[in-house]
Amino acid sequence: MRLTVIGATLALGAMACGGKKADQAQTQAAAQPAAEAAPAAPAGPVVEVKMTGTGTTAAFEPKELNIAAGTTVRFINVSGGPHNISFWSDSIPAGAADVLKKAMPEQLADLEGKLLVQPNDHYDVSFAGAPAGVYKGYCMPHLALGMRINITVK
């Protein structure tokens, strides 16, 4: 009989604590700000660049690109990742570094985009307000394999 009373008391106590925890979790969730919204869709035209690799080769497709200022370039990991897009600060037009830094979210370092690990992951770089000229870029993990791209903004 005592064991039944003790068991019932423990069960009621556990339910009461669980209820408090659930209430606390709901209160905390309500107090936290809403999750950040997904990034806004690009305002101008979008041009896709595929990022591919086989283990012994890696490439941007296309590796030469001509775009108008205001275009967003969407880099897509197709195969052989992880990939990223990076730019040499001395191989972009004067004044372009500040524009790119603002246009490249989640940078690993200055002018170095985040790694795209999963197939179909993508990374957008907006060239809105970018000075005209050639932007020489590369994939950091595959630089030794010659994975480079030239983007000309007209």
Buried/exposed code over 4-34 (b: 16+ C-beta within 10 A; e: otherwise): eeeeeeeeeeeeeeeeeeeeeeeeeeeeeee
* β-strands 46-53, 58-61 pairing: antiparallel
Residue 39 has what pLDDT? Answer: 55
Residue 37 has what pLDDT? Answer: 45
Q: Tokens in use for 129?
A: 């307000």
Residue 150 has what pLDDT? Answer: 98
Q: Tokens in use for 127?
A: 């060239």
pLDDT at 40 over 80: no
- pLDDT tens digit string along 3-25? 444 444 444 444 444 444 444 44
pLDDT at 99 over 50: yes
pLDDT at 121 over 80: yes
pLDDT at 97 over 80: yes
Q: pTM value? A: 0.74
pLDDT at 107 over 90: yes
Q: Measured between alpha carbons, how far is 81 from 30 in angstroms, rounded to an integer?
A: 39
